[in-house]
Structure 1
Amino acid sequence: MRKRSSVLAVLAATAVLATPAAASAATGTHAAGTSGASAAKTFTFRGMTLKIPSGWKVHRERDYAVVVTGACRYPDPFLPNCKGFWVFGPKAITRVPVGGGYITYTGKRQFHPFSGVIQCPFSAEEQWYAADRRVSSGLHQVGRGHKAQYSAWANTCVTPSGKKTRSFTQREWFLPTSKILVVDVWNTPGLSTVLKNATWS
């Protein structure tokens, strides 16, 4: 596998943090009047505040965050078997390494996390085949007065021999004014609603 971006290198280096440290990275407090499975906390990123389930863990680094929503060995949804999603700021999507060069994300093509081979989200033995086929798009509300350019992209997992196995959809919400990009390859339950109910400061 070719060298990945510095984004993933930093994440791999910080993935061995103890559980208390990882938990402290999840910003915000429990919402008043909630308890148990319905408990929620807030996560604020560049003026956007999301109310997320208390079990979701937020890992911050520079101008992006990884929100882990389920089982995960390392805080990186682009590595196999780590349920979660990314939240990127403008610095993190300005020089994205793709195909030996760098591009700035515009939404015209799906977000590619790093240059080189990407493992399938479901299996380390399979590769992510990005067909760059948009299956749906439109404007989605992300809190009052903010709309995101939404795109869903079809992708496939392939074996080393080239056999196609499972397919998945990469969902992206891009706020062109705020330059915030949310990327989800796990079809995270409730994420669309969380974004719709965002508040801004």
Structure 2
Amino acid sequence: MILTLALSASLALTGSTAQATTKPVTFQGFTIQVPLQWHVKKEGGGLRVITGACSPQAAECQSFLLGGPGHIKYASEGNPYRTDQPYHPSSGVTQCVPMKKYSSGQANRVKTSKAAFGTGQQALFTEWKVSCDGSKLNVASYTQSLWYVKAKKVLVVDHWKTPGLGAILAKAVWG
């Protein structure tokens, strides 16, 4: 009986601790659980989830974007999102994410696959390596990861290789 009581107490404490380390973020009909220390702010009809530092040398804080229909409509130089191109909503040159002083050069697709995005939903997952200066070799680059759920009009954009983001999205709960 003592063993049973100790095991029950241990499971109860483990469960409440695990729940206390995350918080829900709801967007476009789904909810994900993110670490408590991450911050969420509205950004152009979407949500920016800040996951780490905000360096003055970087074009954006360590984060990822939860984008909806507006982000999809203007995802490629003011045109709709195309699965054969990286996410680049503005026309012209953009700043390189890890270093403001460089401008984005060319991008090469590294991977395309299907990825779980909650129960019953699949995302098209695409990873791009974006060169920060296409005219020079071996210069700074970054990885852009995209999860696109066409049926739900959701586009997730990650420029920071956010640890565990794929697993977080795979556990999304659709409402």
TM-score (norm 2): 0.81
Q: Equivalent residues in 2 for 1:1-201 (5 A)?
A: 33-34=16-17, 39-72=21-54, 80=59, 82-96=61-75, 98=77, 102-131=78-107, 133-158=108-133, 162=136, 164-201=138-175
Change (3 A) 1:129 1:52: same
Cα displacement string for residues 105-161 of structure 1 (whole angstroms, at most 9, x for unaligned residues): 132211103122211222122122132x211111000111000001011111229x8
Change (3 A) 1:61 1:82: closer
- 1:183 is paired with a residue of what secondary structure? strand
- 1:129 is paired with a residue of what secondary structure? coil
CA distance in 2, matches of 1:97, 1:111: 6
Aligned length in residues: 160
Higher strand share: 1
Change (3 A) 1:115 1:194: same
CA distance in 1, matches of 2:118, 2:162: 18
Q: Who wins on radius of gyration, i.e. which is larger?
A: 2
TM-score (norm 1): 0.72
Give the drift of 1:72.
1.6
Greater mean alpha carbon deviation, residues 137-146 or residues 163-172:
163-172
| Runs of at least 5 residues in structure 1 that lack an aligned partner in the other structure | 1-31
CA distance in 2, matches of 1:48, 1:193: 15
CA distance in 1, matches of 2:17, 2:61: 27
Higher helix share: 2
1:136 is aligned with what amino acid? Answer: K
Change (3 A) 1:88 1:158: same
| Runs of at least 5 residues in structure 2 that lack an aligned partner in the other structure | 1-14
1:113 is aligned with what amino acid? Answer: P
CA RMSD of aligned residues (A): 2.4
Percent identity between the two aligned chains? 34
CA distance in 2, matches of 1:95, 1:188: 24
Preserved contact between residue 158 and residue 164 of structure 1 (Cα < 8 Å): no
Give the drift of 1:62.
4.8
Preserved contact between residue 71 and residue 81 of structure 1 (Cα < 8 Å): no
